[in-house]
Amino acid sequence: MVEDGQSIILDAGTTVHHLARHLHGRRLTVITNSLAVYEELAHDENIALMLLGGMVIRQCHALDGFMTEDNLRQVHADWLFMSAAGVRPGGQVMDTTVVEIPAKRAMIAASDKVALVADASKFPGTGMAKVCGPQDLDVVVTNPLSDTTTCTALEQMDVRVVQTTPVAAAR
């Protein structure tokens, strides 16, 4: 989905960190608040890497808060790849780490296209707070074992569902 020369935002989830491992050698601009993604890509000279500012959230290994949100208002990305705690049967993307939700919403606003990367354990999922609705998603990348009811509901709301081999353990 990503073409050389594009800019992408990668959020602070473990699944997204695993995705970053597959970007080595690509000519991209990567914008992230994830310290794990930063560490993964820091030495790749093909990748222009922007680390968003903010408070260190140790439990998430990420930067977050109002400075992260302010930084995101200053950038544009072709794609956002984000993770979540779960996807409800109606397509709502949920998370349990409430402090991350404002940054995720700012990432959505800064991106032309949004891809949710989530394994089958997230369908149908849980979470205490809504990140976004299906209208904010362009693509959901998951594995073939994902809940077919939720995936069908997403497709009926014009969200492309791509089922592929799992790329990481659940977040």
Residue holding tokens 């976004």? 132
User: What does the pLDDT look like over 103-145, one tens digit per residue?
Assistant: 999 999 999 999 999 988 888 888 899 999 999 999 999 988 7
Assess contact for 112 and 133: CB atoms under 8 A.
no
The whole-angstrom distance between residue 57's C-alpha and the CA centroid of its chain comes to 17
Q: Which of 99, 171, 84 is nearest to 132 (CA)?
A: 84
User: What does the pLDDT look like over 8-65, one tens digit per residue?
Assistant: 999 998 889 999 999 999 999 999 999 999 999 999 999 999 999 999 999 889 999 9
The class level of CATH for 7-163 reads: alpha beta
Confidence of residue 167 (pLDDT cuts 50, 70, 90): very low
Spell out the domain ranges in the chain. 7-163
